[in-house]
């Protein structure tokens, strides 16, 4: 005998099926008894709709208040630091190379920029073929 999680007269989507045929009278009697037990349990634990509505009406709305923990205070009285800039953000300075190691920038293939550190490298890059 297999165990089922739903009543045999209902499909899994809750719609009624047609008439259920049983193999023998014993199974039919067992199904009727199971159905009667199920109806009795539903009636025993049934909650009236009126009591549900009164519970909803009596329920209070939840309100939350955020407070600082003991020993901690909010710092609304501390002013912001004045840096003297009128804009929102100070503009970043454009970086410029000031050293003497790199002589220039060469192009090896297509638009590949390569730093040149010596005269020999410049000559080698100029002699390279595609």
pLDDT tens-digit profile of 108-117?
777 788 889 9
pLDDT at 28: 92
Higher-pLDDT residue of 89 and 39 is: 39
Q: Is residue 129 part of a domain?
A: yes
The answer to whether residue 48 is domain-embedded is: yes
Q: Per the domain annotation, does 110 fall within a domain?
A: yes
pTM for this predicted structure: 0.27
Residues of the domain holding 112: 99-130
Percent of residues, the chain, with pLDDT higher than 90: 12
Q: Is the dihedral of CA 25, 26, 27, 30 positive or negative?
A: positive
Domain membership flag for residue 87 = no
Chain-centroid distance of CA 32 in Å reads 48
The domain tally of the chain equals 2
Which pLDDT belongs to residue 8? 57
């Amino acid at each position: 005998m297999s165990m089922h999680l739903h009543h045999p007269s209902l499909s899994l989507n809750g719609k009624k099926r047609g008439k259920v045929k049983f193999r023998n009278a014993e199974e039919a009697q067992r199904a009727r008894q199971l159905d009667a037990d199920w109806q009795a349990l539903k009636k025993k634990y049934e909650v009236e709709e009126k009591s549900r509505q009164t519970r909803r009406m009596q329920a209070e709305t939840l309100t939350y208040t955020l407070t600082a923990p003991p020993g901690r205070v909010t710092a609304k009285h501390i002013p912001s630091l004045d840096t003297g800039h009128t804009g929102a953000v100070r503009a970043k300075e454009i970086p410029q190379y000031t050293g003497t190691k790199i002589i220039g920038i060469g192009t090896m293939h297509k638009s590949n920029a390569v730093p040149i550190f010596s005269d020999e490298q410049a000559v080698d890059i100029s002699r390279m073929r595609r």
